[in-house]
Amino acid sequence: MIAHYGRLRRLCRLLLGDPQEAEDVVQEVFLKAHEAEQLGRAPMDWAAWLTRVAVNACRDRRRAGGWMRFRLRSSHIDDLPLVADTPGPGDVAVSEDARRRIWAAFRGLPRRQQEVFALRYIEERATTDVAVALGLSPGSVKRHLYRAVRHLRRALADAR
Amino acid sequence: MSACLSDDALARLHADLASISERAHLATCAACSGRSRQLRRDLELITAVLRDTREPLTRVAPARRRWLPAAVGLSAAAVALLVWVEVAVWRAVTPVPPTMQPQEVAAILSDVSASLFSVSGDPVPGAADDGPLSLESMAREVDSSLTGGEP
């Protein structure tokens, strides 16, 4: 189960946009997983179960508005740009402007499209798995994905 | 051969929403296949950015925050309108109460005084005309009413 820690933290960070909030949500998810295991309700597929619980927890956080307080708070140490001025190997391929535009376009997506894109492309899960995790039909997942892809690609085209 | 696919059609293909004819066209058209490969590369780049890079600190404001300046502006405008209505309109149409002259005030007060200190209930004769009663005259009246006019 620990193998899922990094994956879930990345997913929650992507959905919430706040590292501290993402960390809190992941702790919450693992607590629920521990409780489920203690109560003998361990799922057959831990990966799918953890993903679904994490997405729901992120959704609850965003709905509660608590994440807004954290985002408006003064800078965390994690938020400070403690990176080298020179571009790293991963940064060479994409310009700073393109990176900003892609992130802004992703944040501009509706919440559901963000979730679908993150699970389908970042988590590399199948359409049916995404549908199960989000409680949607596969057709709905495809439509959300189509809109998200179109929006993000336009943002990338604008950067070129 | 059918016309080449639009960008939207290619995005539909990647989302598995394309029609059979669009799929058939993609299989036979080299240009559309190239564009489809470009779309896949773009998606890989977008995915890599979202997965491997830190989100810039300057973010797009959430929808709720975008409304904040407009809400503040509208509130300020509403307050300014209320103040203007109060100052310019309301005061202009409201009649100013007439101010009384000091002589009128004195006459009214003397009438009130005469009514208050009159034994029979009638005003003291000449009191209203003579101006306000002095303390001495009022004392004399009270004294005479108590003693029946005897010294």
- The CA distance from A58 to A105, in Å, is 20
Please name the member of B12, B45, B59 whose beta carbon is closest to the beta carbon of A17. Answer: B59
In this predicted structure, which of A88-102, A119-133, B53-67 has the lowest mean pLDDT?
B53-67
State the Cα angle at A83 between A82 and A88, rounded to 5°: 165
Q: Which residues of A touch B16 (CB under 8 A)?
A: 127, 142
- Asked if pLDDT for residue A143 goes beyond 50, the answer is yes
- The CA distance from B66 to A100, in Å, is 19
**pLDDT value at residue B150:** 60
Query: What is the pLDDT of chain B when averaged over all its residues?
Result: 79
The verdict on a CB contact (< 8 Å) between A99 and B45 is no
DSSP 8-class letter at A122: I
Task: Give the pLDDT confidence of A13-37 residue by residue, as tens digits.
Answer: 888 888 888 888 999 989 988 888 8
DSSP assignment of B1-66: -PPPPPHHHHHHHHTT---HHHHHHHHH-HHHHHHHHHHHHHHHHHHHHHHHSPPPSS-PPPHHHH
- Asked if pLDDT for residue A5 goes beyond 80, the answer is yes
Instruction: Tell me the mean pLDDT in the region B24-50.
Output: 90
Encoding tokens for residue B41? 């590369």
For the CA atoms of A65, A71, A77, A78, what is the dihedral angle to 10 degrees? 80
- Answer whether B120 touches A (CB < 8 Å): no
Task: Give the pLDDT confidence of A107-140 residue by residue, as tens digits.
Answer: 999 999 999 999 999 988 899 999 988 889 999 9
Task: Give the pLDDT confidence of A37-69 residue by residue, as tens digits.
Answer: 888 877 778 888 888 899 999 888 887 765 555
Q: Which residues of B touch A10 (CB under 8 A)?
A: 51
A interface with B, Cβ–Cβ < 8 A, is: 10, 14, 17, 68, 79, 81, 83, 90-91, 93-94, 98-100, 102-104, 106-108, 118, 121-122, 127, 142-143, 145-146, 149-150, 152-153, 156
**pLDDT value at residue A66:** 55
How far is the CA of A22 from the CAs of A53, B68, B106, B136, in angstroms? 13, 26, 81, 91
**Could you tell me which residue, A107 or B146, shows the higher pLDDT?**
A107
Q: How confident is the model at residue B118 (pLDDT cuts 50, 70, 90)?
A: confident
Please name the member of A17, A122, A127 whose beta carbon is closest to the beta carbon of B47. Answer: A122
- Asked if pLDDT for residue B64 goes beyond 70, the answer is no
The distance of B12 to chain A (nearest Cα, Å) reads 6
Amino acid (1-letter code) at residue A110: P
- Asked if pLDDT for residue B78 goes beyond 80, the answer is yes
The verdict on a CB contact (< 8 Å) between A17 and B55 is yes
Task: Give the pLDDT confidence of B8-36 residue by residue, as tens digits.
Answer: 888 888 888 888 888 889 889 999 999 99
Residue listed under structure tokens 């029946």: B148
Q: Which residue of B has its CA nearest to A67?
A: B62
Q: For the complex shown, is ipTM > 0.90? A: no
